[in-house]
């Protein structure tokens, strides 16, 4: 399965449009959103073209292609306007022979790990900083960064995941980093 993975849209219509253009170019089987979809959160400045209603409409038009986990800025009110499930704290996926524990990152992260076996992958957003590292017993940690509010001089971007490879890209589709699973 070919997955596009993105996080932290935070209600930015501009960057949601750019993410969906990248999705059209990438042609993934599904887009996995790692939370913080509509609301900008009290710790962040308003993102460019902040328009949660427009973001909801754009994503609802592609509901059949989306998987999503709940971010710390996502609530039951958001679920009322979104036509795809957004309130699960995590989801489990497989890439090759590795289990992927996908979550937002505000509960489970490198300092508070979920139950993982050797070789499993922890995937989360929340920090707005792209990341890739090995930890534990051949475990991997991946973070796609943020679509709309990148931090620490990172890029507006996403990640592509196929059976044995993860690729970080900016919203224009330029490859920034590649990891083998």
Whether 129 shows a pLDDT value over 90: the answer reads yes
Whether 52 shows a pLDDT value over 90: the answer reads yes
Write down the pLDDT at residue 164: 86
Q: What are the residue ranges spanned by the domains of the chain? A: 3-180
DSSP states of 114-176: -S--TT-EEEE-SSSS-EEEEETTTEEEEE--BSS---TT--BEEEEEETTEEEEEETT--EE
Question: Strand 30-33 and strand 66-68: pairing?
Answer: parallel
Q: How far apart are CA 123 and CA 172, in angstroms?
A: 22
Please list the residues that pair with 107 across neighbouring strands: none
Provide φ and ψ at 65, rounded to 5°: -105, 5
Contact 39, 74 (CB under 8 A): yes
**pLDDT band at 22, cuts 50/70/90?**
very high
pTM beyond 0.75: yes
Helix, coil or strand: residue 77: helix
Superfamily of domain covering 3-180: Metallo-dependent phosphatases (3.60.21.10)
């Amino acid at each position: 399965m070919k997955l596009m993975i993105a996080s932290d849209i935070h209600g930015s219509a501009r960057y949601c449009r750019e993410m969906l253009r990248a999705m059209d170019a990438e042609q993934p089987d599904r887009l996995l959103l790692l939370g913080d979809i509509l609301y900008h959160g009290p710790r962040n400045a308003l993102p460019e073209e902040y328009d949660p209603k427009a973001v909801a409409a754009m994503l609802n038009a592609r509901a059949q292609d989306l998987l999503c986990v709940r971010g710390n800025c996502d609530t039951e009110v958001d679920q009322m306007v979104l036509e795809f499930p957004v309130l699960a704290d995590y989801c489990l996926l497989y890439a090759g022979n590795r289990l992927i524990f996908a979550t937002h990152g505000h509960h489970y992260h490198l300092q508070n790990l979920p139950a993982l076996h050797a070789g499993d992958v922890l995937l989360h957003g929340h920090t707005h900083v792209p990341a890739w590292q090995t930890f534990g017993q051949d475990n991997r940690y991946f973070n796609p960064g943020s679509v709309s509010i990148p931090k620490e001089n990172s890029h507006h971007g996403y990640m592509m995941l196929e059976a044995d490879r993860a690729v970080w890209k900016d919203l224009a589709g330029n490859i920034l980093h590649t990891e083998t699973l």
